[in-house]
Amino acid sequence: MSTPYWVAGRPATGTEVLEVRSPHDGALAGATTTATDEDVEAAVAAADRVRAELAATPAHVRAAALDSVSRRLAERSEEVAALITAESGKPLKWARLEVARAVSTFRWGAEEARRWSGSLQRLDTDPAASGRLALVRRVPRGPVLGIAPFNFPLNLVAHKVAPAIAVGAPIVLKPAPATPLTALLLGELLAETDLPAGAWSVLPVPNEVAASLVQDPRLPVVSFTGSVPVGWSIRESAPRKHVTLELGGNAAAVVAPDQDDAALDWAASRIATFAMYQAGQSCISVQRVFAHRAVAEALTTRVVEAVGKLVTGDPTDDATDVGPLIDETAARRVESWVDEAVAAGARVLTGGSRDGASYAPTVLTDVPAGAKVSREEVFGPVVVLDTVDSVDEAFARVNDSRFGLQAGVFTRDLQVAFRAAQVLEVGGVVVGDVPSFRADQMPYGGVKDSGTGREGVHAAMEDLTEERVLVLTGIAV
C-alpha cells in the first residue's frame, strides 16, 4: 500500500511509485508516490493564499498544534523509530533518540510560539521624538520552502516545520528522496491539528522540481539542509530570497595536555562513539582530532580500543551501534577516500574495509595534510588522529578548513576554553565534549562553507521573520 503525500493538509497520491528500501538489506521499507505537477502547484498556491491568515492566527492555536504533534510523536515513538531505521538504516538506538529529540523540538516550538512577542522602545531620547514610542515586532517573511536531508529524516524535518508554524509562516516541505516516509508520517500528525488548509504540505519530488520551487516567487524563504554544492547553488540562483543553509563540515576535537587518565577515558569514549554514530553521517560527527603530544599516545590507544568495541550490523538490533551508510555509492566513496589516504602514507589503526553499503568504523593516523579525509566532509565512519605540540597549534589546525560548524575542546583550563571560543572559526565550541553535541533549542549553524543562518527553534524563528516597527505618537512615556 502506498503512503500518501500531503497537499495543503490533505492526503494525495500520484501515479509514479517511489519505493523506499533499507540500505542494510534492501528490504522494502514502504512506498509512496512522487507528487504530481498539479499537486505541487496546488500546495504552493495554497501556501500563498493562507499566508495572511496563518500569520494572524492566535498564538494559542499555533502552540496547540505544535503541542499536539509533540504529544502524538511521543505516543507513537516506537513506530516512528522503527520507520526511521527501516528507511535510513540508522540503528534503532539512535532512531529512538532522534524521535525523543523531535518530541522536544516540537515542544520547544509550542513554548516559543507562546513567548513570541515584540519589544517596546522609547523614542524620547531626542527632543524631536518626545511623546513617541516604538513597538517592534517580527512578522513572517512569507511562505517557506523547507528542503530536508536523509540523515535525520524526522528531527531535521522538525527543525523546518516547528519554527515555521510557530511564527505563522506556511511551509512546503521537500523530504529527502531516500527517506520520505518519516516526513509523510509526520504529515499524519499535522493533519490532526486545527491549522488552516495550506499551512503545510509534504511533497516527495525529484531535485529538478525542487529547483523550480526555489525559483518560485511565492516561496520567498528557502531553508536548506544538505550538501555544500547544492546549498550554495540555491543561494546563488535565488539572490533576492532569504536563504538559510546548514551544509555540514569536518568537525574537529582538540584534546589539551591537562587531561588525566579519567578525562582521557571520557574523551576517547566520546570521540569513538560520535565519530561513528549514524555511520558518520552527521555534519558534526567527529572527523578530525588534534591531541597534544603529552596525551596523544594514550588517547590513541583508548580511541582504537573503544572503536573496536562498537557493534556493527543489523540496525534493527538493539545492540547495534553502527549501521550502513545510506547506500552503497556512499560507502564506495568513503572507501576510495580512505584508500587514497593510505596510498599517500596514512596508517589504518582499525577498520578500513567495506561490505556493501557498510563501512567498518575506521581510525586513521599519519594522514597527509591534503587528503580528502582531512580536507573534505567524509560523511562516513572515519576519524583522523593527529598529534600537535601546543593548544595554539591545534586551534590553527582546526581553523585550517573551509568548514566551520562546531568544534569540541577537551580541557579543564578556563583560559583555554575562553581562548577557543575567541579564536576558533566555527559556529559553536563545546568544552569538555565532542563537537557532536547539540541541544535543539540553542542556535546552531556554521561559518565559511558550513552555511549561513541558524537553526534551533528560536534562532530559526528569527531567521524566518523580519522586524516591523509601529510608531505611536502622543504617548506619555
Annotate 32-64 with DSSP letters as a single string.
EEPPPHHHHHHHHHHHHHHHHHHHTS-HHHHHH
Residues 187, 264 share a domain? no
Residue 40 in any domain: the answer is yes
Residues 256, 241 share a domain? no
d(CA 380, CA 426): 21
CA terminus-to-terminus distance, the chain:
64
Residues 211, 302 share a domain? no
Residue range 434-438: mean pLDDT, rounded: 97
Structural domain count of the chain: 2
Residue 475 in any domain: the answer is no
Residues 200, 310 share a domain? no
Residues 60, 202 share a domain? yes
Q: What is the mean pLDDT of the chain?
A: 97
- Give residue 78's domain range: 5-247+450-470
Give the count of beta carbons closer than 10 Å to the beta carbon of residue 339.
Answer: 14
Residue 297 in any domain: the answer is yes
Residue 245: the pLDDT is: 97
pLDDT above 90 for 110: yes
Q: Residue 406: which CATH number? A: 3.40.309.10
Residues 243, 305 share a domain? no
pLDDT above 90 for 208: no
Residue 477: the pLDDT is: 78
Residue range 343-360: mean pLDDT, rounded: 98
Residue range 440-462: mean pLDDT, rounded: 97
Q: Residue 126: which CATH number? A: 3.40.605.10
User: 124-171, pLDDT tens digit by residue?
Assistant: 999 999 999 999 999 999 999 999 999 999 999 999 999 999 999 999
Active site residues: 246
d(CA 408, CA 227): 22
pLDDT above 80 for 1: no
pLDDT above 90 for 101: yes
Residues 150, 186 share a domain? yes
Residues 295, 202 share a domain? no
Residues 429, 461 share a domain? no
Residues 427, 278 share a domain? yes
Helix axes 59-75 and 77-88, enclosed angle (nearest 10):
80
> 213-228 burial, b for 16+ CB within 10 Å, e for fewer?
bbebebbbbbbbbbeb
Residue 477 in any domain: the answer is no
User: 222-258, pLDDT tens digit by residue?
Assistant: 999 999 999 999 999 999 999 999 998 999 999 999 9
3-state secondary structure of 323: coil
Q: What is the pTM of this model?
A: 0.96
Would you state the torsion angle of the CA atoms of residues 263, 420, 408, 292, taken in this order, to the nearest 10 degrees?
A: -50
Residue 191 in any domain: the answer is yes
Helix axes 92-115 and 155-167, enclosed angle (nearest 10):
10
Residues 167, 24 share a domain? yes
Give the count of beta carbons closer than 10 Å to the beta carbon of residue 212.
Answer: 12
Percent of the chain predicted with pLDDT > 70: 100
d(CA 109, CA 263): 36
Residue 476 in any domain: the answer is no
Residue 471: the pLDDT is: 97
Residue 49 in any domain: the answer is yes
The DSSP result for 212-270, as a single string, is HHHH-TT--EEEEES-HHHHHHHHHH-TTSEEEEE-----EEEE-TT--HHHHHHHHHH
Residues 99, 215 share a domain? yes
| Adjacent-strand bridge partners of 362 | 382
Residue 445 in any domain: the answer is no
Residue range 174-185: mean pLDDT, rounded: 98
